[in-house]
């Protein structure tokens, strides 16, 4: 899956804000996609000690939700941690994972926000624009805006409002379980975004594509950390043995 818009990543936070303000005008908030055959979920985990990020993308057949492909990428994070600019920190490694896909998804679910962002350009918008692919933000917590609590039954919704604008939907995906926050990324209407996410929920709070991507990148990070942890433990044990011998 190729990136359709090339961009620089070696920008300052101030330049990144200007790019968000310019690119948000290019985000499409109405449906522009054909029949949906494949849906993908993407997420990222990072190791704070090494600053390495692990991105994972899993593609499923839709609506059966049968896995057809998964790809990962590992990169060093180069952009600083700045609230509201996380897409500049995380997108390069996520795009590297998408570039390895053989099956191009018809829609992508991102563990993060889209239009529900201070500048209306969260990571779901950013990736959707660069890939020119329909994207939906599926977040576990609110970033901006306020909403009433939706009904307790799965499928209940409430509008997420920020500064008088509807920026997303609070969706209950399971009876009496905390809701999630669904926002437009690119080339998907709010109504279609909610419908697609609900169909991917398979009885759990988090939709299957992003839930499984989250689990996978966590496993990738732990697998990378394990050898270094073992090495540290061996070094510590050796030091203790030396101390005992000296005494």
Global pTM value: 0.89
Q: How far apart are CA 202 and CA 208, in angstroms?
A: 7
pLDDT on residue 224: 87
For residues 144 and 113, what is the distance between their CA atoms, to the nearest angstrom?
10
Per-residue confidence (pLDDT) for residue 244, from 0 to 100:
41
Chain-centroid distance, C-alpha 210: 7
Percentages helix, strand, coil for the chain, rounded to the nearest 5? 35, 25, 40
Q: How many CB atoms lie within 10 A of CB 237?
A: 10
Walk me through the domains of the chain, giving residue ranges and CATH numbers: 13-246 (3.30.2170.10)
Local confidence pLDDT in tens for the 247 residues of the chain:
989 988 889 999 999 999 999 999 999 999 999 999 999 999 999 998 899 999 999 999 999 999 999 999 999 999 999 999 999 999 999 999 999 999 999 999 999 999 999 999 999 999 999 999 999 999 999 999 999 999 999 999 999 999 999 999 999 999 999 999 999 999 999 999 999 999 999 999 999 999 999 999 999 999 988 765 444 454 545 455 444 444 4
CA distances to 55, 96, 135, 202 from 188, rounded to whole Å, are 23, 23, 7, 21
Torsion of CA 187, 192, 198, 200, to 10 degrees: -50
Beta bridge mates, 139: 181
Residue 104 is classified by DSSP as P
First to last CA, the chain: 62
Work out the number of other CB atoms within 10 angstroms of the CB of residue 170.
22
Judge whether 93 and 71 are in contact, CB under 8 Å. Answer: no
Which residues are CB-neighbours of 242 under 8 A, at least 6 positions away?
Answer: none
The predicted pLDDT at position 225 comes to 80
pLDDT of residue 247: 45
């Amino acid at each position: 899956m190729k990136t359709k818009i090339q961009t620089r990543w070696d920008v300052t936070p101030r330049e990144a804000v200007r790019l968000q303000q310019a690119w948000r005008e290019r985000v499409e908030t109405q449906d522009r996609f054909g029949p949906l055959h494949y849906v993908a979920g993407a997420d990222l985990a990072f190791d704070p000690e090494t600053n390495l990020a692990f991105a994972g993308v899993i593609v499923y057949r839709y609506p059966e939700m049968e896995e057809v492909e998964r790809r990962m990428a590992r990169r060093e994070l180069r952009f600083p941690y700045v609230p509201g600019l996380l897409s500049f920190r995380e997108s390069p490694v996520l795009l590297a994972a998408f570039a390895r896909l053989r099956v191009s998804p018809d829609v992508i679910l991102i563990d993060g926000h889209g239009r529900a962002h201070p500048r209306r350009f969260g990571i779901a918008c950013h990736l959707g624009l660069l890939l020119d692919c329909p994207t939906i933000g599926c977040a576990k917590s609110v970033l901006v805006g306020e909403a009433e609590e939706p009904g307790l039954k799965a499928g209940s919704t409430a509008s997420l409002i920020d500064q008088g604008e509807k920026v997303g939907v609070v969706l209950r995906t399971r009876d009496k379980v905390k809701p999630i926050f669904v926002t437009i990324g690119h080339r998907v209407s709010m109504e279609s975004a909610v419908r697609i996410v609900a169909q991917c929920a398979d009885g759990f709070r988090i939709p299957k594509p992003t839930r499984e991507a989250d689990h996978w990148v966590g496993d990738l990070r732990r697998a990378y950390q394990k050898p270094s942890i073992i090495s540290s433990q061996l070094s510590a044990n050796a030091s203790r043995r030396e101390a005992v011998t000296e005494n």
